[in-house]
Amino acid sequence: MLKPLLSGVTVAMLAATITPNAFATDTVFESRDILSPSQALGRYQWLEKCYPGLLIEVADNVFDPSNPIPNEEKIANLKKALLYKNGQLRSDARYITFGDEEQMNPKNWFAGKSPTDSCNQIPSDYRISAMMISPAIPTYCPTKSRERDYEHIKKVTFAGLENSSTNTFYSNYVGETARLYRDRSYELTLTPGFATEETYPETWHVFIDWNLDGDFKDTGESIFAGVSEQPLTIQVKAPAGAKAGVTKMRVTMDYLGGNNDACKEIDSGEVEDYLLYLK
């Protein structure tokens, strides 16, 4: 399996990933597999556990194969080159993503993001699609729910992203990213979950940092989605002036009305953050 996995990646392409700014941001658009630096490290550790032979082949393509060194050293050197700078985890960490011959992901398969993830089988027709770079995401204001025992965000579906979850005060979801074109409208479906069979009318707010400035305070970035105890669907379209790139979407659900300020804590429900890639 390992040879076909590497056949779509040239030596020059792999070598280029060692240098800064090796890929344009459009590379991100080819995959929803967008990872934070810590998840990029987890991806490498997962490959170390599940597919060490693949890492050895990548290392042989990146480094001088005429210099014989133990395989363990090859894996360690590649890990250092892709993920670390001056002994610290890089903010622009490099990591492997997978896809078919057209660099697409028709089977919706993703490699692990943690060494504790199970060693699920890479599809037989998949190969290394690209070396991705962790995008620089601003640090957004923290927030959470004060109470989560009665209701929570059960599911969010938006522009190819579908995420189901259990109750937490706050969750930051990266690793799968909604992809949007600025000239299109997309359905955003929000589904509440409840601790018992009894349901309650929940208030939904959605915040999207359309201009990528690290906050949700600009015109058009706060959306009142409605009140419902059933799944709720709204149409979302990027406003004029929205910037291309990776940005954050925040979803809040609150039985007690919520808040149109994305930085305010909510009372009873849940807050979830997602990544969007705007093309």
How confident is the model over 149-162, as pLDDT tens digits?
A: 999 999 999 998 99
pLDDT of 76 higher than 50:
yes
Report percent pLDDT > 70 for the chain.
Answer: 89
- CA atoms within a 13 Å half-sphere pointing along the CA-CB vector of 167: 16
Q: Which two tokens stand for residue 72?
A: 């363990």
Token pair 């990213």: residue: 177
Q: Which two tokens stand for residue 74?
A: 């090859």
Q: Which residues pair with 97 in a beta bridge?
A: 130
Going by C-beta distance under 8 Å and a sequence separation of 6 or more, which residues neighbour residue 192?
A: 151, 152, 153, 154, 199, 200, 202, 228, 229, 230, 231, 253
Question: Tell me: the pLDDT tens digits for 225-235?
Answer: 999 999 999 99
CA separation for the pair 9, 131 (Å, rounded):
9
User: pTM of the full predicted structure?
Assistant: 0.77
State the pLDDT at residue 101: 84
Q: Is the pLDDT of residue 9 over 50?
A: no
Structure tokens at 83: 């993920």
- Contact in structure between 135 and 28 (CB atoms under 8 Å): yes
pLDDT band at 31 (very low <50, low <70, confident <90, very high): low
DSSP string, 163-220: EE----SEEE--SS-EEE-TT-EEEEEEEEEESSS----EEEEEEE-TT-SSSS-STT
Rounded to whole angstroms, the Cα distance separating 193 from 200 reads: 10
pLDDT over 90, % of the chain: 68
pLDDT value at position 165?
93
Of the pLDDT bands very low, low, confident and very high (cuts 50, 70, 90), residue 129 is confident
CA distances from 259 to 145, 169, 190, 266, 275 (A): 11, 15, 17, 7, 21
Q: Encoding tokens for residue 136?
A: 């620089």
The reported pLDDT for the residue numbered 30 is: 54
CA atoms within 13 A on the CB side of 230: 1
